[in-house]
Amino acid sequence: MTVGPQDEVSQELMPDRSAAEPDQEPGRGPTEWLDAPVGVGPHPLPWPTDPRYDPELLEQGDRRNVVDHYRYWRREAIVADLDTRRHPFHVAIENFGHDHNIGTVVRTANAFAAEAVHIIGRKRWNRRGAMVTDRYQHLLHHPTVEDLVEYADRHDLVIVGVDNVPGSVPLESAELPRRALLLFGTEGPGVSEDARTAAAMTVSIAQYGSTRSINAGVAAGIAMHGWVRQHADPAGAW
């Protein structure tokens, strides 16, 4: 059935604003909202002797948000292993306002094994959405776009702005460079003038609704997956 503008939206489809929000403890993330603990309990004896294993986790169990391959591993061992599997793309997000999307960007960059995440502007950012994934991710801070550009030049990275601005090309058909540094803007103003000038190309995500733009964290996920579809080996995914 096609719903036209003349059709009334059924009340059943409207959000129930009277329903109480789930009673969530502040500071706990979505994977911790469940009553049953996630992860694994204490490791059965005998324990593995590989130095990558953490005796404390083996003894107490591992409730961290990590894939099974890394269960009971020390954090440094996980980072070292990820360093052998990271993809050659980087991600940058401008932090000129109070942006709550940076945690989401960091978490997604971790999921797609981006080489590094760059924060431009303010150093402080809200880590909640990162769900602790920032511990396993290389994070770099740049006070200015100019500083990021110098980094990109030194590391042979091509800056690709991501925003729906005049002059951008559709992400859906764009060829993303393998050594791409995908740069996202702040909620509100979007990618800054300096960043737009610095970008070798800017890509936009096609939209079909009434909103001017999508959430920066969502846009980052779509753009990163665009890179993954073009350059990553599906056989290497978990």
Task: Using CB under 6 A, list all residues that contact ligand SAM.
Answer: 162-165, 184-185, 187, 190-191, 204-205, 207, 212-214, 216, 219
Using the minimum distance from each CB to ligand SAM, give the nearer residue, 43 or 221.
221
Structure tokens at 18: 């009277």
Contact between 224 and 112 under an 8 Å Cβ cutoff? The reply is: yes
Using the minimum distance from each CB to ligand SAM, give the nearer residue, 78 or 105.
105
* Least spacing, CB of residue 182 vs ligand SAM, in Å: 9
* Least spacing, CB of residue 213 vs ligand SAM, in Å: 3
Using the minimum distance from each CB to ligand SAM, give the nearer residue, 93 or 131.
93
Using the minimum distance from each CB to ligand SAM, give the nearer residue, 78 or 205.
205
**224 vs 55, 101, 149, 163, 184, CA distance in Å?**
36, 15, 20, 13, 11
Using the minimum distance from each CB to ligand SAM, give the nearer residue, 57 or 104.
104
Q: Which residue is nearest to ligand SAM (CB)?
A: 185
* Least spacing, CB of residue 111 vs ligand SAM, in Å: 18
- Give just the sign of the alpha carbon dihedral 229, 233, 234, 236: negative
Mapping DSSP to helix (H, G, I), strand (E, B) and coil, where does residue 43 land?
coil
Contacts of 163 (CB under 8 A, 6+ apart): 184, 185, 190, 191, 196, 202, 204
* Least spacing, CB of residue 23 vs ligand SAM, in Å: 31
Q: Which residues pair with 121 in a beta bridge?
A: 95
Cis peptide leading into residue 166 (ω within 30°)? no
* Least spacing, CB of residue 118 vs ligand SAM, in Å: 14
